[in-house]
A and B are shown apart, each in its own frame.
Chain A
């Protein structure tokens, strides 16, 4: 164990400040144990430094080659993403773009009754017409739309009636076909039953001869 005010290894490895180094050096002058420890460390370092660095077997050099050299676009891109200010600007631009796209592509709610044409004309002439005129025009527009809605409902109702009538005719035809098939099957079954009971046609020629 060392009695030095600082770790001798830290002093030996030149990691202490100048003032701390001076304190350790003052301590080393008066402490034989720490001096011996320091000598061992210096001997170890000297032994380690007996291994010399080798020369590199082949020198390394680069040539200007487009394969290895980054393209101007890659440089710009790297610089762009490396800059925090530009990155912030890019983020703000993307956010603005997203807001604009959302504003233009979001579907607007549809009105229940389409009053576009009369309403536009009412808006345009609202400054010159009185309130009564505006009310009258609104009532007219509502009447027009109501009549349109009634006409649409009537036509839909008529189409539904036509469809029901066609269904009824088809059902009636199917019923007729089924009845005739049933009648034919019943007759056939009757003939089969008669044949099975041993019916033989009358022999008129033979009876005449015997007479």
Chain B
């Protein structure tokens, strides 16, 4: 991760001076993670891909405003978060964020043939994630799947660290009750 950060820092500086090739290298290192984050937010592959392209285009246009290259990851995910919620608002401006459509278990985003885990487990995990609120689901995605710290999550989501903690903890309680009920813990 340290080598990766150093490399990203060099690429960011070159890209900020207009280096398209440097930015393309930066994109290749982050596109999969950003795509999967947006995929969990939107539940739709086409939307996730379109949003990912928009995110990197916006990132390229605003890269000079990034003062600290070490904050690139939260900065990039902040753009992704804003782009996704902007799309939600455009499509359903009269509804709140709580009314966003959950991912359907039948058309689950990760119910593919590539998983090494049993299909039943993937289905039950998808169903458990769908029972979370959009805010809780996004918090779990950023924490469990993307590995961000609470402080970085607060920067991405634009809310206090206490709110982030509350969302993650309540989501973990719900997921634990679904996926690891009492008496099934491994010893």
Per DSSP, chain B at the interface is helix
Task: Judge whether A163 is part of the interface by a CB distance below 8 angstroms.
Answer: no
Binary CB contact string for chain B from 149 to 187 against chain A (1 if under 8 A, 0 otherwise): 110000000000000000011001001100110101111
- Bound together, the chains give a CA A134 to CA B116 distance in angstroms of 112
In the complex, how many angstroms separate the beta carbon of A99 from the nearest chain B beta carbon?
33
Binary CB contact string for chain A from 42 to 70 against chain B (1 if under 8 A, 0 otherwise): 11110111111111111111111000111
Binary CB contact string for chain B from 51 to 68 against chain A (1 if under 8 A, 0 otherwise): 011001100110011000
Contact A39 B187 (CB under 8 A): yes
On chain A, the number of residues with a Cβ less than 8 Å from chain B's Cβ atoms is 36
The listed residue (B31, B65, B129, B184) touching A59 by CB distance below 8 A is B31
Task: Judge whether A41 is part of the interface by a CB distance below 8 angstroms.
Answer: yes
Contact A9 B169 (CB under 8 A): yes
B-side contacts of A43, CB under 8 Å? 179-180, 184-186
- Bound together, the chains give a CA A43 to CA B24 distance in angstroms of 38
Contact B61 A48 (CB under 8 A): no
Contact A75 B39 (CB under 8 A): no
- How many A-B pairs with Cβ below 8 Å? 116
The listed residue (A9, A36, A82) touching B185 by CB distance below 8 A is A36
On chain B, the number of residues with a Cβ less than 8 Å from chain A's Cβ atoms is 54
Task: Judge whether B73 is part of the interface by a CB distance below 8 angstroms.
Answer: no
Task: Judge whether B69 is part of the interface by a CB distance below 8 angstroms.
Answer: no
Task: Judge whether A40 is part of the interface by a CB distance below 8 angstroms.
Answer: yes
The listed residue (B24, B28, B182) touching A40 by CB distance below 8 A is B182
B-side contacts of A9, CB under 8 Å? 168-169, 172
Contact A47 B23 (CB under 8 A): no
B-side contacts of A53, CB under 8 Å? 32-33, 36, 145
Task: Judge whether A193 is part of the interface by a CB distance below 8 angstroms.
Answer: no
Contact B65 A48 (CB under 8 A): no
Most chain A CB atoms below 10 A, which of B20, B39, B112: B20
Residues of A within 8 A of B (CB): 9, 13, 15, 36, 39-45, 47-64, 68-70, 75, 78-79, 82
Beyond A39-B187, A61-B28, 19 additional contacts (C-beta under 8 Å) are A13-B143, A43-B186, A44-B179, A47-B179, A48-B129, A50-B121, A52-B110, A52-B116, A53-B32, A53-B33, A53-B145, A54-B109, A54-B114, A56-B32, A56-B49, A56-B52, A59-B31, A62-B57, A68-B60
